[in-house]
């Protein structure tokens, strides 16, 4: 017990030992909330004797879950770390155990974005659509909107409608959105696949329709802990309510000042109103910051204090004093980037590794000048948004081999049937597709049934089928890393890469094998192939770190939950940060919270910069209001401040604020809404383009649709 409670401050100690009932922890940035969560888990297990399998600990990224799992293992010495996962990851457990309740096999497949794109390719080809009709990204967004908001009962088509009827619904659809949506549902049902939205929605449906299953999970989860509670969305909240309904032991941790995902459905009210919804809530304030210097915290506190809707609190420093926050006003973006590169070089000359320096920004386009400056100065860097590890071709191929062994699904088949080359080109794949549709079988089963057809003479189709069959019968009970090594060898995939001289790709495969081995070690007996494939499908780009001594470049959103010794926050201009897309007062407060998150990532040094120039619309560019929000005496300016510039910047902010609405909606109208425009007349909303801030409207008297700004006055016609 001494080891678990040792070194905890008063607030952390209270949090760890408050095990019963409803507990809310308001934890400021860098206050050691992960420490509190992990030590509380260990306290429950080692001191109270609670079995790890009776504890659910929810985080918001797989990286955070893995880190928490390792910390708990170090504290308890037990490989069993219960349910430590994201909401989606936990729902995979529910569905793997109780998928029979919706008629799905245990070997269902979890889709990632690239899988969805592969399904979209099939639909576009079948129905003669192009990217002019709708981009893949817009289609995925539309699926999410329809599943989570406009058509919450969609899943009944997936699980209750006979597949022939669902197919017919897809074929009968005429509108592009309907074609894509029902085509996607059909593809999901055909392959027994689910996406991230389905995971929670189907879990809730099972609990609703089968109270006995709900009760089983409620009784099992004696203690529930949820991290980053300010980011919880309505579906996750509903799931939490169901799961804690038996034991009434719910422990939540969050910071209202770090709510930056309302655009994704997060609602900070769940955290703020927690004590109004649940009985006898104990609230614990954790404000001692162990990350940043007093100078950095003073600037961050000064900034966030300008928000009106918040719990008033200040982060309390525990570190010794450091350097003031540095602020630089540059004449051009190029000059700003050159200044940053110069400061990085000075830090490096002082012995600071490049990997300790991170550039944060609001929008990706800001990096152009920064990248050019870093390249010119020969400073190596990595961008956390390029082709990440699990999106690389060879990694996708290797995982598709594992999925073929477990599922024999069409998506994996299409990817690896001809990798390495087996002479299964477009003509033969088209034959398989056509035959599979006629016979109502998967592509792989169709190939098995037609191996003797003349169309497959001169191919290695039989060798491929023999390979998959052999592994499908023998993979269970074998370590996943061993199965992967074996099939990459037997298939000739690694040999083909060696022949091509693709050493980098071979290194990536070696890294994958190592990561699987580490996964097996941490999961123990639960590390089945199906578990691993579901786990890996839930990975996001931010879960994978780049190696080497390089400066990191990433968006502020990507940096959430991370910390860095030295932070350069660039592009601090009105219209960049805060974004020009902000149209409401609540939206502006969220932008300020995002800036607060950026500042509180820094441990030792913080550099803020902006650049003079012109915006995309031709208007002059001014320093961000967030620079003006910070008390001036807390900043160290690199040169004398132009008072005229600051007055003009303040006037610009005041002008922009006149256009901010009070409501917290996004100002959009639903698709299908009839509207009247003062000049163009009546029309129908076809789409909403949030990137451009416009409705796409087909006016009755016009041959083509028009993009109309969200700010334009439109009169609703009808409901």
Residue numbers annotated as active site: 33-34, 227-228, 258, 601
Spatial neighbors of 681 by CB under 8 A, at least 6 apart, are 699, 700, 701
Q: Is residue 685 exposed (0-12), middle (13-18) or buried (19+ Cβ within 10 Å)? A: buried
The alpha-helical segments, DSSP class H, found in 600-638 are 625-629
**Rounded CA separation 15/231 (Å):** 20
Q: Which two tokens stand for residue 529?
A: 């192939």
Closest by alpha carbon to 109, among 520, 415, 406?
Answer: 406
Match 């398989």 to its residue by tokens: 432
Three-class DSSP category at 110: strand
Could you tell me where the DSSP H helices lie in 210-293? 211-220, 234-243, 269-272, 274-277
DSSP string covering 464-503: HHHHHHHHHHH-TTS-HHHHHHHHHHHTTHHHHHHHHT-H
Q: How far apart are CA 31 and CA 287, in angstroms?
A: 6
Which one, of 111, 108, 97, 67, lies nearest residue 85 by Cα? Answer: 67
Query: Strand 674-677 and strand 714-717: pairing?
Result: antiparallel
CB-CB contact of 5 with 13 (8 Å): yes
- Strand partners for 707: 696
The tokens describing 409, both together, are: 């699904």
Do 590 and 544 contact (CB within 8 A), yes or no?
no
Give the tokens for residue 497. Answer: 């890469």
Pairing between β-strand 288-289 and β-strand 316-317 as defined by DSSP bridges? parallel
Residues 6+ apart with CB under 8 A from 176: 129, 133, 134
Residues 134, 136, 141, 143: what is their CA dihedral angle, to the nearest 10 degrees? 90
By DSSP bridging, strand 250-254 and strand 22-27 are parallel
Query: Is residue 413 within 8 Å of residue 585, measured between CB atoms?
Result: no
Cα–Cα dist 16/446, whole Å: 57
Distance CA 349, CA 368 (A): 25
CA 480 to chain CA mean position, Å: 26
User: Residues with Cβ < 8 Å from 341, sequence gap 6 or more?
Assistant: 373, 374, 376, 377, 379
Cα 378 to Cα 369: distance, rounded to the nearest angstrom: 14
Q: Are 486 and 529 in contact (CB under 8 A)?
A: no
* Cβ-proximal residues to 710 (8 Å cutoff; 6+ apart), any chain: 583, 666, 667, 668, 693, 694, 695
Which string of DSSP letters, residue by residue, matches 116-141?
HHHHHHHHHHHHT--TTT--HHHHHH
Strand partners, 133: none
């Amino acid at each position: 017990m001494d080891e678990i409670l040792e070194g905890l401050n008063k607030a952390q100690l209270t949090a760890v030992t408050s095990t019963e009932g409803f507990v809310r922890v308001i934890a400021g940035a860098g206050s050691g909330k992960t420490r509190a969560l992990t030590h509380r888990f260990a306290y429950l297990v080692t001191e109270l004797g609670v079995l790890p399998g009776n504890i659910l600990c929810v985080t918001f990224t797989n990286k955070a879950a893995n880190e928490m799992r390792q910390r708990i293992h170090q504290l308890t010495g037990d490989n069993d770390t219960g349910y430590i996962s994201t909401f989606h990851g936990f729902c995979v457990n529910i569905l793997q155990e109780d998928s029979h309740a919706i008629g799905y096999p245990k070997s269902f497949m979890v889709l990632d974005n690239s899988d969805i794109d592969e399904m979209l390719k099939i639909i576009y080809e079948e129905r003669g659509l192009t990217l002019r009709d709708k981009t893949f990204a817009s289609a995925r967004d539309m699926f999410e909107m329809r599943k989570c908001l406009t058509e919450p009962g969609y899943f009944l088509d997936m699980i209750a409608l006979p597949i022939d009827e669902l197919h017919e619904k897809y074929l009968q659809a005429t509108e592009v959105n309907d074609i894509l949506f029902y085509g996607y549902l059909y593809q999901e049902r055909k392959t027994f696949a689910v996406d991230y939205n389905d995971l929670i929605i189907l879990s809730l449906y099972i609990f609703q329709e089968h109270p006995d299953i709900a009760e089983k999970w409620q009784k099992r989860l004696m203690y529930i802990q949820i991290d980053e509670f300010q980011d919880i969305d309505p579906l996750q909240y509903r799931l939490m309510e169901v799961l804690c309904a038996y034991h009434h032991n719910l422990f939540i941790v969050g910071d209202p000042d770090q709510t930056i995902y309302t655009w994704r459905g997060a609602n900070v009210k769940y955290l703020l109103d927690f004590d109004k919804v649940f009985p006898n809530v104990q609230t614990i304030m954790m404000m001692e910051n162990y990350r940043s210097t007093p100078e950095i915290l003073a600037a961050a506190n000064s900034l966030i204090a300008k928000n009106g809707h918040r719990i008033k609190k200040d982060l309390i420093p525990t570190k010794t004093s450091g350097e003031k926050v540095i602020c630089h006003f540059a004449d051009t973006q190029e000059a700003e980037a050159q200044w940053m590169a110069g400061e990085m070089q000075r830090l490096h000359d002082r012995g600071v590794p490049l990997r300790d320096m991170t550039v944060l920004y609001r929008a990706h386009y800001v990096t152009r000048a920064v990248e050019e400056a870093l390249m010119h100065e020969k400073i190596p860097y990595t961008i956390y948004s390029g082709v990440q590890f699990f999106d690389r071709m060879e990694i996708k191929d290797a995982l598709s081999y594992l999925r073929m062994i477990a599922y024999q699904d069409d998506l994996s088949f299409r990817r690896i049937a001809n990798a390495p080359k087996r002479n299964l080109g477009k003509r033969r794949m088209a034959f398989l597709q056509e035959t599979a549709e006629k016979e109502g079988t998967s592509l792989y089963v169709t190939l098995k049934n037609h191996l003797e057809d003349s169309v497959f003479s001169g191919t290695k189709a039989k060798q491929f089928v023999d390979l998959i069959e052999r592994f499908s019968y023998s993979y269970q009970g074998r370590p996943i890393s061993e199965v992967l090594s074996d099939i990459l060898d037997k298939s000739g995939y690694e040999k083909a890469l060696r022949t091509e001289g693709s050493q980098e790709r071979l290194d990536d495969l070696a890294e994958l094998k190592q990561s699987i081995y580490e996964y097996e070690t941490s999961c123990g007996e639960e590390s089945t192939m199906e578990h691993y494939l579901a786990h890996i499908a839930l990975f996001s780009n931010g879960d994978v770190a780049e190696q080497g001594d390089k400066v990191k470049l990433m968006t502020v959103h990507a940096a959430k939950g991370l910390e860095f010794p030295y932070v350069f926050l660039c592009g601090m201009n009105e219209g960049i940060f805060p974004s020009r897309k902000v149209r409401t007062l609540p939206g502006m407060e969220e932008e300020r919270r995002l800036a607060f998150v950026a500042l509180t990532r820094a441990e030792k040094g913080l550099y803020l910069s902006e650049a003079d120039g012109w915006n995309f619309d031709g208007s002059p560019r001014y320093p961000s209001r967030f620079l003006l929000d910070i008390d001036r005496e807390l900043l160290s300016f690199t040169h004398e401040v132009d008072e005229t510039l600051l007055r003009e910047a303040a006037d610009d902010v005041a002008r922009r604020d006149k256009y901010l609405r009070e409501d917290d909606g996004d100002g959009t109208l639903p698709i299908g809404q009839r509207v009247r425009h003062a000049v163009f007349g009546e029309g129908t909303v076809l789409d909403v383009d949030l990137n451009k801030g416009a409705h796409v409207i087909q006016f009755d008297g016009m041959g083509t649709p028009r993009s109309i700004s969200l700010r334009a006055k439109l009169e609703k016609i009808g409901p």
